[in-house]
């Protein structure tokens, strides 16, 4: 099975698992109603998680990029899933963290631990000079 279809199906499982109904209308001309992924693709399109191309095609036979997968995850995150779906999305968010950050999506699972970071230590400042001030004239001179 191609990596692109696997990625699309992962996204389909995430969103499809917490959707209550499947879409009835076929949004893409290249996904026949009898196709094994039809229901998931139609539901993802209805939920706004995936978008086709301008010619009303899905092109499920091509591999998607990590950036495209990150976009699908970001759109699925906006639906505020819970339970198993949330756990699956958390794993996907960790995998696509860099791409999601490039999209401006905040990864809440990682951010909730940000307040646990503590800075501590000792600041030591040492200044050394090889010049001395003459008390009588007030001029600085090189020390011997």
> For residue range 44-100, what is the model confidence (pLDDT) as tens digits?
788 777 888 888 888 888 887 888 888 888 888 777 767 767 777 788 888 888 888
pLDDT attached to residue 21: 47
pLDDT at 2 over 70: no
Q: What is the DSSP string of 38-101?
A: HHHHHHHHHTTS----TTS---TTSPPPHHHHHHHHHHHHTT---THHHHHHHHHHHHTHHHHH
pLDDT at 15 over 60: no
Which strand (E) or helix (H) includes residue 84? helix 84-95
Give domain status of residue 85, yes or no.
yes
Domain count, the chain: 1
Give domain status of residue 68, yes or no.
yes
Give domain status of residue 129, yes or no.
no
**Mean pLDDT along residues 23-40:** 79
Give domain status of residue 138, yes or no.
no
pLDDT at 111 over 60: yes
Host domain of residue 24? 3-116
pLDDT attached to residue 1: 43
pTM of the model: 0.46
Give domain status of residue 74, yes or no.
yes
């Amino acid at each position: 099975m191609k990596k692109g279809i696997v990625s699309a199906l992962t996204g389909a499982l995430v969103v499809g698992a917490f959707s209550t109904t499947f879409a009835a209308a076929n949004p893409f001309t290249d996904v026949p109603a009898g196709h094994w992924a039809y229901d998931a693709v139609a539901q993802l399109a209805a939920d706004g998680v995936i978008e086709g191309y301008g010619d009303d095609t899905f092109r499920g036979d091509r591999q998607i990029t990590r950036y495209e997968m990150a976009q699908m995850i970001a759109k699925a995150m906006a639906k505020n899933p819970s339970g198993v779906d949330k756990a699956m999305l958390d794993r996907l968010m960790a995998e696509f963290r860099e791409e999601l950050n490039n999209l401006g999506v905040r990864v809440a699972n990682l951010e909730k631990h940000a307040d646990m970071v503590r800075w501590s230590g000792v600041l030591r400042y040492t200044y050394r000079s090889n010049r001395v001030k003459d008390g009588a004239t007030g001029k600085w001179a090189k020390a011997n």
